[in-house]
Amino acid sequence: MTEVETVTSERARPDETDLLSLHEAIAELHASQGDFRTAYEHLRTALGIARTARPQIPEQLRREFDRLRRERAQAREESLRDALTAVYNRRYLDNRLADLRGDARTPLAVALIDIDLFKSVNDTFGHLIGDQVLRRVAELLRAGVPAPGFCARYGGEEFMLVLPEVQPGTALRIAERARRRVAQHAWSEICPGLGVTISVGVSHEPVSGPEQLRMADDLLYAAKHAGRNRVAYRERGGVRVLEHCQ
pLDDT in single tens digits along all 246 residues of the chain: 444 344 334 444 444 347 777 777 777 877 777 777 777 777 777 777 666 655 556 677 667 667 767 766 565 665 789 999 999 999 999 989 988 887 767 789 999 999 999 999 999 999 999 999 999 999 999 998 999 999 999 999 999 999 999 999 999 999 999 999 999 999 999 999 999 999 999 998 665 678 899 999 999 999 999 999 999 999 888 999 987 644
Domain borders along the chain are: 3-79, 90-242
- Tens digit of pLDDT for each residue in 17-59? 477 777 777 778 777 777 777 777 777 777 776 666 555 566 7
Which pLDDT belongs to residue 222? 97
Cα–Cα separations (whole angstroms), residue 1 to 7, 104, 132: 10, 20, 31
Contact 124, 207 (CB under 8 A): no
Q: What is the DSSP track for the chain?
A: --HHHHHHTSS--GGGS-HHHHHHHHHHHHHHTT-HHHHHHHHHHHHHHHTS---PPPHHHHHHHHHHHHHHHHHHHHHTB-TTT-SB-HHHHHHHHHHHHT-TTS-EEEEEEEETTHHHHHHHH-HHHHHHHHHHHHHHHHHTPPTT-EEEEEETTEEEEEEET--HHHHHHHHHHHHHHHHHS-GGGTSTT----EEEEEE--SS-HHHHHHHHHHHHHHHHHTTSS-EEEEETTEEEEE----
157 is catalytic: yes
Q: Measured between alpha carbons, how far is 202 from 111 in angstroms, rounded to an integer?
A: 4
Which pLDDT belongs to residue 117? 97
| Catalytic-role residue among 5, 78, 139, 157 | 157
Which pLDDT belongs to residue 138? 97
Q: Specify the fold of 90-242.
A: Alpha-Beta Plaits (3.30.70)
